[in-house]
Amino acid sequence: MKRYPLIFNPNSRGEKASKAQQFFFQNAQELALYASQSVENAIELINHFADQGEKEIILSGGDGTLNQMIDLFLDRNLTMGIIPTGTMNVYARELGIPTTNLEKAFQTIKDEHISEVDVFRINGAPFVQMAGIGYDAHIIQETCPKLKKKLGPLAYLQSAFKVFGLKPPSMLIETEEGESLDGAFVLLGNGALYGGHFEVFRDAKNNDGLLDILVVKKAGYQAVIDFATNYLTDPSFPFEGADHITHIQTKGLRVTSKKEIPVELDGEYAGGATEFTITRDERGLKTFKPVEKISNDWHEALGAFSSISPW
């Protein structure tokens, strides 16, 4: 029987984490379990497995955990298996990996179907699902991680109102294809999903070599924020239909601003800058995914309707 190395954080708390750990121990015949206390520790373990000739490694975690390991998986030419145990698990959802059924999630790995997903970089730092320059990054920056653990998605809403009243920044967006426009907020999508369940980039494919971006114009900033508030209360609200939003597909772009602007990568705050260069890595991230998307259990489908935050 094949045995996959699996890296998990033994300090994760909460019902989800303890259920996952129980599942791992029950399946220890097929999973070689490695507890990792830190990012450095996880990197060390993964390098060790790669040195031993291991080609496939499973990570248990959320979008932030996966994001931190992208470079290592690319450099060591490894395939990533995902057991989603984070708050949002956007990347897992995008790939159709079940986020509420550990058994089914593990089965998607055992089925050995591998997909190569585009990796984009902002000033060198990678992301596989989504990124944002401006408004959403600011909200994430303002959200205390402890509160996020306690309140879940609600924690972001609280910060959203804090960031609400701030003056919109001014950015210049220039695409590799020669398009140039002004904006106050830029969302970048590698896949269709942004935040938990929201298909913000409806036509985006994460293996077409293109990035889907939404640029919110400065003039429409307030309108769009109002719009986003509507969207929060009614997720069926069509985001891309707004007048003040331009949708572009591009191979790469540059964003510049006089003032420093925050950026988020796969939902994690990643600092601020006045210049952002966004490029695609020539290598794709190999990830196990189901041949067909597996829908989640009914109670999660219901959860999608009652969810009030796109992050």
Nearer to Mg ion by Cβ, of 102 and 119: the residue is 119
CA torsion sign for 197, 201, 202, 208 is negative
Binding site for Mg ion (CB under 5 A): 205, 208, 210
Closest distance of CB 190 from Mg ion, Å = 5
Nearer to Mg ion by Cβ, of 208 and 275: the residue is 208
Nearer to Mg ion by Cβ, of 117 and 224: the residue is 117
Closest distance of CB 139 from Mg ion, Å = 24
* DSSP result, 148-195: HHHHTTHHHHHHHHHHHTSPPP-EEEEETTS-EEEESEEEEESSSEET
Residue 301: which H helix or E strand, with range? Answer: helix 298-306
Instruction: Give residue 272's identity as a one-letter amino acid code.
Output: G
Residue of 274, 276, 144, 118 whose CA lies nearest to 201: 118
Distance (Å, whole) CA 6 – CA 12? 15
Closest distance of CB 246 from Mg ion, Å = 17
Helix (H, G, I), strand (E, B) or coil at 265: strand
Nearer to Mg ion by Cβ, of 229 and 277: the residue is 277
In the chain, count of helices (H) and strands (E)? 10, 18
Closest distance of CB 201 from Mg ion, Å = 8
Nearer to Mg ion by Cβ, of 111 and 208: the residue is 208
Closest distance of CB 256 from Mg ion, Å = 23
